[in-house]
């Protein structure tokens, strides 16, 4: 999980792209860590935490990004594609006609309610008129009729922005690429369009709108939504001890969440889940499918307060030998049900062998015979190293001895 400061950063890692760090010519203190979020869009943080917390840097809003998206960089600019298919480039210096409250933070707003905030602005130049307002999400409401007709440089004004969550319904789809129907951080854009005649000044001013949607009811989140344990080489230390990965069970609702049950299935589409025996009051190892088990999960009936989470551990052991492994582990609660997909693989050890080119083919030999070579001439024979095992072979050294 990518953790920054504040409640609004309880984000499933299944909704984030890989973090990317940049700096200005490698200078100390110039590092910026970038990450693409399905709901919040592109975000930037100082790479070095302050008091154990990442400090977010204000950047223009992009809107939600596609799942596992990551930005690209070049010539001092950053590029990102949002979930609407729009390619966005940031980094070109430009003079802005206004200075406004930015970002506009609504804080926590319960689903089914509304909240209005006043945005304060100052004109940096004379503005003859406003050409309109564009909002990136329909749940935010603002009207051009609330803007002044014209402005002189230095003049102040305010206008209201409403965040309307009355028609929002809750979904438990943790894999949704972009949705305001899940509790969590929400970000969108508001662009003010101006008419001005001042050279080298933009006619647009972007404002970031952000907040945290809260469910009045309990709401279960299992994160991440998928865990890939990678491959295990049979006979290696990992094959004996297994591979372990942590995951979290969290209540992002405002009411108490009650854990009701657990189950696992290698065919979740069938709707059939095996529910393992689990004695209340213990935290023993619980089976989670062929080759998988979990420890540290809360017992049935456990109550999670708002914002609280429990970290459990999933383990992969190649119990059936070589091949691919897959299982879905599901949690049921009074705040819905969610699952995480476990995948892994196992293969035989690598086997190295040398082969010699002979008579148009290749033959495995321990000795290469060059035959009689006349002084001043040379004889060339091709050899190759092969892997006849079931997993990747790592060549650590190549040496010729007399």
Number of domains comprising the chain: 4
Mean pLDDT rounded to a whole number for the chain? 83
**DSSP E strands, 23-127:** 32-37, 41-46, 56-57, 72-74, 77-81, 87-90, 98-100, 104-110, 114-123
| Whether the Cβ atoms of residue 161 and residue 136 lie closer than 8 Å to each other | no
**Is residue 93 pLDDT above 90, yes or no?**
no
Measured CA to CA, the distance from residue 41 to residue 64 in angstroms comes to 4
Tell me the mean pLDDT in the region 316-343.
91
- Within this chain, do residues 356 and 328 fall inside the same structural domain, yes or no? no
- The confidence score (pLDDT) of residue 388 equals 67
Q: Judge whether residue 317 has pLDDT over 80.
A: yes
* Token pair for 185: 């951080």
Q: Are residues 108 and 38 in the same domain?
A: no
Classify residue 336: in a domain, yes or no: yes
Q: Name the strand (E) or helix (H) holding 241.
A: helix 237-241
Q: Are residues 134 and 175 in the same domain?
A: yes
Residue 69 lies in a domain: yes
CB 121 within 8 A of CB 156: yes
Q: Is the peptide bond before 325 cis (omega within 30 degrees of 0)?
A: no
User: What is the pLDDT confidence band of residue 9, given thresholds at 50, 70 and 90?
Assistant: very low
Asked which of 16-30, 169-183, 356-370 is least confident by mean pLDDT, the reply is: 169-183
Quick one: 108 and 32 in the same domain?
Answer: no
Predicted pLDDT of residue 332: 94
CATH number at residue 269: 2.60.40.10
User: Where does a domain end: 347, 370, 386?
Assistant: 347
Using the predicted structure, report yes or no on whether residue 7 has a pLDDT greater than 50: no
Q: Is the pLDDT of residue 176 over 80?
A: no
Asked whether residue 128 falls in the same domain as residue 11, the answer is no
In this prediction, residues 201-228 reach a mean pLDDT of: 88
In a domain, 1, yes or no: no
Q: Is 32 part of a structural domain of the chain?
A: yes
Q: Are 205 and 310 found together in one domain?
A: no
- pLDDT per residue over 10-59, tens digit each? 344 446 778 899 987 777 778 899 998 877 789 899 888 888 888 888 78
Task: Give the residue numbers spanning the domain of 391.
Answer: 351-402
370 and 319 in one domain? Answer: no
Say yes or no: 14 and 86 in one domain: yes
pLDDT at 156 over 60: yes
**pLDDT for 361 beyond 60:** yes
Residue 2 maps to a domain: no
- Residues whose CB falls within 8 Å of the CB of residue 101, separated by 6 or more in sequence, listed in order: 119, 120, 121, 207
Of 183, 214, 245, which marks where a domain is finished? Answer: 214
Structure tokens given for 331: 């949690």
**335 and 356 housed in the same domain:** no
Select from 325, 347, 369 the last residue of a domain: 347
Do 229 and 341 sit in the same domain of this protein? yes
Q: What is the pTM of this model?
A: 0.59
């Amino acid at each position: 999980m990518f953790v920054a400061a504040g409640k609004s950063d309880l984000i499933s890692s299944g909704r984030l792209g890989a973090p990317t760090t940049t700096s200005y010519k490698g200078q100390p203190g110039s590092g910026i860590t970038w990450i693409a979020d399905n709901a919040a869009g592109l975000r930037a943080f100082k790479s070095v935490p302050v008091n154990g917390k990442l400090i977010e840097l204000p950047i223009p809003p992009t809107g939600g990004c596609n799942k596992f998206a990551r930005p690209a960089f070049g010539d001092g600019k950053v590029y990102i594609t949002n979930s609407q298919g729009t390619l966005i480039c940031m980094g070109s210096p430009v003079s802005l006609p206004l200075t406004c409250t930015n970002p506009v933070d609504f804080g926590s707003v319960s689903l089914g309610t509304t909240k209005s905030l006043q945005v304060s602005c100052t004109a940096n130049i004379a503005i003859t008129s406003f050409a309109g307002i564009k909002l990136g999400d329909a749940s935010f409401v603002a009207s051009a009729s609330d803007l002044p007709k014209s402005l002189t440089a230095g003049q102040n004004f305010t206008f209201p922005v409403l965040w309307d969550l009355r028609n929002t319904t809750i979904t438990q789809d943790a894999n949704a690429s972009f949705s305001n129907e899940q509790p969590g951080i929400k970000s969108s854009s508001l662009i003010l369009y101006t008419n001005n005649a001042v050279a080298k000044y933009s006619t647009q001013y972007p404002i970031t709108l952000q907040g945290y949607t809260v469910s009045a009811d309990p709401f279960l989140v299992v994160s991440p939504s998928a865990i890939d344990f990678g491959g295990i080489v049979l006979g290696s230390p990992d094959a004996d001890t297994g591979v372990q990965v942590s995951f979290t069970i969290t209540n992002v609702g405002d009411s108490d969440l009650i854990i009701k049950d657990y189950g696992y299935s290698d065919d979740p589409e069938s709707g059939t889940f095996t529910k393992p025996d689990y004695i209340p009051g213990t935290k023993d190892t619980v089976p989670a499918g062929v080759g998988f088990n979990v420890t540290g999960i809360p017992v049935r009936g456990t109550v999670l307060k708002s914002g609280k989470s429990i970290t459990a551990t999933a383990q992969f052991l190649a119990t059936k030998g070589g091949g691919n492994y897959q299982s879905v582990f599901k949690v049921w609660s009074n705040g819905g049900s969610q699952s995480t997909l476990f995948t892994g693989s196992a293969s035989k050890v690598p086997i190295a062998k040398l082969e010699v080119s002979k008579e148009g083919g290749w033959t495995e030999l321990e000795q290469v015979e060059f035959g009689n070579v006349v002084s001043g001439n040379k004889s060339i024979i091709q050899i190759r190293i092969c892997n006849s095992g079931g997993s990747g072979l790592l060549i650590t050294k190549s040496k010729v001895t007399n």
